[in-house]
Amino acid sequence: MSFNLVRVDNRLIHGQILEAWVPHIKASCLLVADDEVAGDFFRETVIRMAVPSDIDVLIHPVDEIARNYAYHENRSERRILLFSSLADARRAYESGFRFEELNIGNIYHEPGKIHCARSIHLDDRDINDLLELMKKGVQFDMRCVPRDKPVDVLAVLKKSKIDIL
């Protein structure tokens, strides 16, 4: 199975995914990698109901991603993989699911988080996960929807006085 977009968005499947990213990618499948959703029949059902019937929806715990899927960009089947957190994306990567680029689309604001871009707020753990993935060669695309101009992650971290290396 190939993935053309790997994204962190704590909302998982919602309007921006269905109305902007699916048409942009021309995706035929959405895969949600989230332990809580995979273990919650009600949440899984609600997610499936929100997606048009011509798009497949797969929901798995994070640890199953590396065992069951491989990332290959630009294959004929167009797919989007969604993580709810940077920690989950890092966990999948360290378990063997390799991706070259990670889109960060939404991470909720909470006390102690720094504002990085529209709808993107990072705390120390998020920054650590981001830096560890960056050290492994992962590129970051920080934007909500395809038409947004990507935010330069390194510039944001430097501006926030985050020690990058």
- What are the pLDDT digits (tens) for 37-94? 999 999 999 999 999 999 999 999 999 988 887 655 445 678 999 999 999 999 999 9
Judged against a pLDDT cut of 60, whether residue 1 lies above it is answered with no
pLDDT at 115 (0 to 100) = 76
End-to-end CA separation in angstroms for the chain: 34
Q: Which of 62, 65, 83, 75 is nearest to 6 (CA)?
A: 83
pLDDT at 155 (0 to 100) = 78
pLDDT at 162 (0 to 100) = 63
Where do the H-state alpha helices sit in the chain? 15-16, 22-25, 35-38, 41-50, 62-68, 86-94, 124-135, 153-159
**Least confident span in 23-32, 101-110, 148-157:** 148-157
Cβ density class 104-130: b for 16+ within 10 Å, e for less: bbbbeeeeebbebbebbbbeeebbebb
53: which DSSP letter? Answer: T
pLDDT at 72 (0 to 100) = 53
pLDDT at 53 (0 to 100) = 93
Q: Catalogue all structural domains in the chain, each as residue range(s) with its CATH number.
A: 5-159 (3.40.35.10)
pLDDT at 74 (0 to 100) = 46
pLDDT at 62 (0 to 100) = 95
- What are the pLDDT digits (tens) for 132-156? 999 999 999 899 999 998 888 777 7
Angle at 83 between CA 80 and CA 84, to 5 degrees: 135
* Structural tokens at position 153: 């992650």
